[in-house]
Each structure stands twice: as structure tokens, then as C-alpha cells.
Amino acid sequence: MIQDSDGLIAFANDLASKMFPAAGKLENRRLHDFSPAEFADERVALIREAIASARTITVDGMLAGLWRRTTYRPMIGEPGQRQRVLVVMRPVSGFFDQTRPAGIVRAKYDDPGALASLTSREMEILCLIGEGLPTAEIAKRLHRSVKTIEWHRVSLGNKLGIANRVELARIAIRAGLVNLENPSVPTA
């Protein structure tokens, strides 16, 4: 994707368009047109910083409920031409990973997408489902009954439009809510 210092999108490939499914056509639209204001403000500030400093900036954060690493790379243009950045986004895991490679910053504002409707307890249960824990183990860990955990799982499914645990686990993994390198599930 190519954006200018106001967040105006000059070019977006098909993959970039899929990252903003609710936005429709991205070209000639501003990030503020289809993203939460705080999220868009922060990302436009990063674009401007990359342009002003003439250096690449990489940030980890959530975009439409998916954990992404986004790199803003200044582009050299003709004199008098509007300055732009090349924006490259890729999925990464590590929502809870506090250690990041040098030079990568954590975004202050996330776009949780559909996950915004979840309660903190539902997010916690979604994480544990993503780690592959059975309902009984989740109940034990959270000091709740199995029925209560099942009720939360049903609520998660209703809010996210998902009917089974496997799909819930996939959502947790894609959102970066699960540390796949160090899961809670005991291994043999």
C-alpha cells in the first residue's frame, strides 16, 4: 500500500484491501474514512514521522482484530511531489509478547475489530481456547464452573459469528492472542 502524509491511499494491492474488508475500495480514501480515529491518528503520525526522519518505522499492533507488524518506508519522489510511504503489513503472533526485536515499537492504539465487543473475561477465555485448553481446564484455571465457561464460549460464538471451538481458536491465533512458542498446554 502507498500512502501520503495525510493518510491518503494512492495504491493498495488486493492483499491490502483484504486487510480492510469493510472499507471496500481503498484508493483515494484516507485511513480516517474507515478506521477508528485514535488508530488512524497514530498511524498517520507514524507516516509523517517516517517521512520527516527519512527512516523506516516498524510497529506492532492490532488491525481489524488481527495482530500485524506494519512497516512504514519513506519513498523518494520527485521534487515538489507529495511525499509518500510504502506500507507493508504482515501477520505476526505475540500480542502478549513483551519482547520485540530492536527497532520495533508497540502501537498505542489498536483496531480490535469484532473483538471490541468482547468482555475482558471473554477475551481471557478466547485466549485459553486458542491455546487448546479443554473447557474443564479453563474452568479450573479461572475458578469457575464448566457451565459458566460453556456459557462464555456460546457468547463468544454469538458475538463473533462462530459455531465451534476450532474457529474460536483460529480467531485467537490470528489475533495474536496466543503465544504459540510457549503455550500453556502441557506437552509430553
93 and 157 inside one domain: no
Share of the chain above pLDDT 70, in %: 89
The predicted structure's pLDDT at residue 185: 44
CATH of the domain at 50: 3.30.450.20
9 and 95 inside one domain: yes
73: part of which helix (H) or strand (E)?
strand 66-75
- Check whether 55 has a pLDDT greater than 90: yes
Burial class (CB in 10 A: 0-12, 13-18, 19+), 3: buried
pLDDT band at 69; cut points 50, 70, 90: very high
64 and 132 inside one domain: no
CATH of the domain at 160: 1.10.10.10
pLDDT band at 47; cut points 50, 70, 90: very high
126 and 81 inside one domain: no
Share of the chain above pLDDT 90, in %: 54
Residue after which a domain boundary falls, among 69, 86, 106: 106
Residue pLDDT, tens place only, 11-44: 999 888 887 766 678 899 998 998 889 999 999 9
- Check whether 187 has a pLDDT greater than 80: no
Residue pLDDT, tens place only, 91-135: 876 655 556 677 888 999 988 888 889 998 999 999 999 999 999
102: containing domain: 2-106
The predicted structure's pLDDT at residue 96: 55
167 and 122 inside one domain: yes
Place of cell 463468544: 156
76 and 50 inside one domain: yes
Torsion sign over Cα 68, 73, 78, 79: positive
**CA-closest candidate to residue 46, choices 109, 130, 122, 102:** 109
97 and 143 inside one domain: no
90: part of which helix (H) or strand (E)?
strand 84-91
Number of domains in the chain: 2
Report which DSSP code applies to 180: T
Q: What average pLDDT does the structure give for the chain?
A: 86
0.85 exceeded by pTM: no
Q: Is residue 33 part of a domain?
A: yes
pLDDT band at 8; cut points 50, 70, 90: very high
Report which DSSP code applies to 116: G
35 and 93 inside one domain: yes
Residue after which a domain boundary falls, among 80, 106, 132: 106
The predicted structure's pLDDT at residue 186: 44
Q: Is residue 40 part of a domain?
A: yes
Mean per-residue pLDDT, 155-182 = 84
Q: Is residue 179 part of a domain?
A: no
